[in-house]
């Protein structure tokens, strides 16, 4: 007896959970190893190693619980057709408050609002435990409960402001798109991506963090000199108060064309007391820019998005006209997931679940590319003469962030977008050896 569409999706979800749990078990065993990898002996202090080991194991135990609860909830929701039930109830709610449930945009907004509330409720306990227990236990959390609540409220308000017009536009485009639906959807999402990349660092990010210009001094002079030598159009150099929430450190850049900006976390400046170490991290980031990694990544994401919309358009065509390639007919597909009617949001939900196999494969491939880019950016910084400083910075950041020192090769190959510390240090040493040869 052939599996229904829903049963096939559930089977794949469970199989992926089993596979990823197997990888998690492999990683957990690696984290429990009582000694450092040989390349890190004498490089990482024993005290930092024990702290990073304890932190990583705590996060690993938490991850097992979180993933089990997540797959249990997701499969239960799908199996018992809770989504179509909630779609029906959200329509009744819209009618009860005097609105027109026949208006698909209004009905969809009510449905998504309820879904957001459910998501916040189910995720809240995990977020609180992760932030105020695990992160606090290991000295990373700097948030107060009030700041945590305030950030959550701001996030909800942003969703309420930005969500309705975006959702309304998507539904309208699908309604009028016709045979060119994928092109229209892609064009809209491409424009939206550019808009969000523009306004997020200027309008949204400052709602959560304070950005101040990096003070005049040696560090600023060295960063500006490096940027000028590479013809990087640096317009502003900021420090963000990441320490108000966490002790983790980072640095990034953003901006289009000749309006580039660099942001340093204050924790990065505190942890790397040597200015040249901080500059080496910036050299790595500038390597991504100089080698066009940012452009390649953006183009790849947009191409994948276009292909996904093409797949969604294909699905809609099958749903509307019937077909025998991916689905037999629209009625069977929707009924398999428990839907009586065929609103656009339900088609998107079905599509999101049916593309899970491809999504996992694409994620793996993108991680492979990302790791290659990281090696190239490290080599770029090394060629600028920052190899010793970058090694020292990588070691210090891994120590201060209590990053995992022992990693399982299968787990890291599947999950990591950045190479493990051992591999990055080895690559820098190998490039030095090749140069000497």
Could you list the residue range(s) of the whole structural domain that residue 323 is in? 1-80+306-431
Q: Is 432 helix (H, G, I), strand (E, B) or coil?
A: helix
pLDDT at residue 39, as a whole number: 86
Q: For residues 74 and 156, state if they share a domain.
A: no
Q: How far apart are CA 214 and CA 223, in angstroms?
A: 10
pLDDT at residue 318, as a whole number: 47
Q: How many helices (H) and strands (E) does the chain have?
A: 17, 4
Q: For residues 166 and 49, state if they share a domain.
A: no
Q: How far apart are CA 3 and CA 328, in angstroms?
A: 13
User: Does residue 122 lie within any of the structural domains?
Assistant: no
pTM of the predicted protein model: 0.83
User: Does residue 201 lie within any of the structural domains?
Assistant: yes
Q: How far apart are CA 2 and CA 138, in angstroms?
A: 51
Q: Is 151 helix (H, G, I), strand (E, B) or coil?
A: helix
Q: Tell me: pLDDT of 133 over 80.
A: yes
Residue ranges for the known binding site for Zn(2+) are 284, 288, 374
The answer to whether the CB of 20 falls within 8 A of the CB of 67 is: yes
User: Does residue 375 lie within any of the structural domains?
Assistant: yes
Share of the chain above pLDDT 70, in %: 91
pLDDT at residue 108, as a whole number: 87
User: Does residue 301 lie within any of the structural domains?
Assistant: no
Q: How far apart are CA 107 and CA 113, in angstroms?
A: 10
Q: How far apart are CA 221 and CA 114, in angstroms?
A: 51
Q: How confident is the model at residue 310 (pLDDT cuts 50, 70, 90)?
A: low
Which of 60-64, 95-99, 268-272, 416-420 has the largest mean confidence? 60-64
pLDDT at residue 326, as a whole number: 39
Longest dimension (CA), the chain: 79
User: Does residue 101 lie within any of the structural domains?
Assistant: no
User: Does residue 330 lie within any of the structural domains?
Assistant: yes
pLDDT at residue 327, as a whole number: 37
Active site residue 135: no
The answer to whether the CB of 253 falls within 8 A of the CB of 261 is: yes
More confident residue, 256 or 380: 380
The answer to whether the CB of 401 falls within 8 A of the CB of 59 is: no
Average of pLDDT values for 38-52?
88
Which segment of 139-148, 271-280, 356-365 scores lowest on mean pLDDT? 356-365
pLDDT at residue 324, as a whole number: 32
Domain boundary among 208, 228, 246: 208
Domain boundary among 208, 223, 255: 208
Residue ranges for the known binding site are 284, 288, 374
Q: Tell me: pLDDT of 331 over 90.
A: no
Q: Tell me: pLDDT of 255 over 80.
A: no
β-strands 234-240, 211-213: how paired? antiparallel
Q: Is 409 helix (H, G, I), strand (E, B) or coil?
A: helix
Residue 137 CB coordination number (10 Å): 12
Of the candidates 1, 65, 3, 2, the one whose C-alpha atom is nearest the C-alpha of residue 28 is 65
Q: How confident is the model at residue 209 (pLDDT cuts 50, 70, 90)?
A: confident
Alpha helices by DSSP H, listed for 211-265, are: 218-229
Domain boundary among 157, 192, 208: 208
Q: For residues 64 and 173, state if they share a domain.
A: no
User: Does residue 287 lie within any of the structural domains?
Assistant: no
User: Does residue 263 lie within any of the structural domains?
Assistant: no
Active site residue 285: yes
Q: For residues 310 and 415, state if they share a domain.
A: yes
pLDDT at residue 379, as a whole number: 93
Which of 149-153, 174-178, 318-322 has the largest mean confidence? 149-153
The answer to whether the CB of 293 falls within 8 A of the CB of 316 is: no
Q: How far apart are CA 64 and CA 45, in angstroms?
A: 28
Q: How far apart are CA 189 and CA 290, in angstroms?
A: 27
Q: For residues 337 and 422, state if they share a domain.
A: yes
Q: Tell me: pLDDT of 219 over 80.
A: yes
pLDDT at residue 127, as a whole number: 93
- Terminal alpha carbon distance of the chain: 64
Q: For residues 404 and 323, state if they share a domain.
A: yes
Q: How many domains does one find in the chain?
A: 2
pLDDT at residue 434, as a whole number: 53
Q: Catalytic: which of 135, 276, 285, 399?
A: 285
Alpha helices by DSSP H, listed for 337-437, are: 344-354, 356-381, 387-400, 409-415, 421-436
Q: Tell me: pLDDT of 311 over 60.
A: no
Q: Catalytic: which of 135, 182, 277, 378?
A: 378
Total residue length of the chain: 437
Q: In angstroms, what CA-CA distances link 276 with 21, 62, 136, 213?
A: 41, 37, 30, 19
């Amino acid at each position: 007896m052939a599996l229904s569409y829903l049963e096939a999706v559930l089977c794949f979800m469970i199989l992926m959970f089993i596979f990823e749990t197997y990888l998690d078990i492999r990683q957990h065993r690696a984290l429990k190893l009582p000694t450092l990898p040989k390349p890190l002996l004498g490089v990482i202090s024993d005290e930092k190693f024990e702290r990073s080991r304890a932190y990583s194991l705590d996060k690993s135990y938490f991850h097992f619980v979180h993933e089990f609860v997540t797959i249990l909830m997701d499969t239960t929701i799908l199996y018992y057709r809770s989504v179509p039930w909630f779609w029906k109830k959200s329509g009744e709610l819209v009618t009860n408050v005097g609105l027109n449930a026949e208006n698909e945009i209004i009905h969809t907004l009510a449905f998504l609002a309820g879904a957001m509330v459910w998501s916040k409720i189910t995720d809240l306990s995990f977020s609180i435990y992760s932030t105020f227990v695990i992160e606090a236990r290991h000295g990373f959390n700097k948030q107060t409960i009030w700041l945590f609540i305030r950030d959550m409220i701001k996030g909800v308000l942003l969703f309420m402001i930005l969500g309705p017009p975006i959702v309304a536009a998507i539904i309208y485009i699908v309604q009028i798109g016709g045979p060119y639906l994928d092109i229209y959807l892609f064009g809209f999402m491409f424009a939206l991506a550019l808009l969000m990349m523009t306004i997020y660092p200027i309008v949204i990010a400052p709602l959560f963090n304070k950005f101040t210009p990096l003070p005049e001094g040696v560090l600023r002079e060295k960063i500006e000199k490096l940027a000028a030598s590479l013809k990087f159009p640096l317009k502003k150099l900021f420090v963000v108060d990441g320490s108000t929430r966490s002790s983790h450190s980072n640095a990034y850049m953003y901006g289009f064309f000749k309006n580039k900006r660099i942001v340093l976390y204050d924790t990065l400046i505190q942890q790397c007391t040597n200015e040249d170490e901080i500059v080496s991290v910036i050299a790595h980031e500038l390597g991504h820019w100089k080698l066009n990694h940012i452009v390649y990544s953006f183009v790849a994401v947009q191409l994948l998005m276009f292909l996904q919309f093409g797949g969604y358009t294909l699905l809609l065509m099958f749903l509307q006209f019937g077909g025998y390639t991916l689905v037999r007919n629209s009625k069977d597909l929707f009924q398999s997931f428990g839907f009586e009617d065929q609103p656009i949001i339900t088609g998107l939900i079905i599509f999101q679940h049916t593309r899970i196999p491809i999504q996992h494969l694409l994620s793996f491939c993108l991680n492979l590319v990302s790791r290659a880019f990281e090696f190239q950016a490290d080599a770029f910084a090394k060629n600028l003469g920052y190899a010793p400083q970058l090694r020292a910075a990588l070691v210090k950041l891994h120590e201060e962030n209590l990053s995992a020192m022992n990693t399982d090769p299968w787990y890291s190959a599947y999950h990591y977008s950045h190479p493990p510390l051992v591999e990055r240090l080895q690559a820098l040493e190998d490039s030095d050896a090749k140069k000497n040869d």
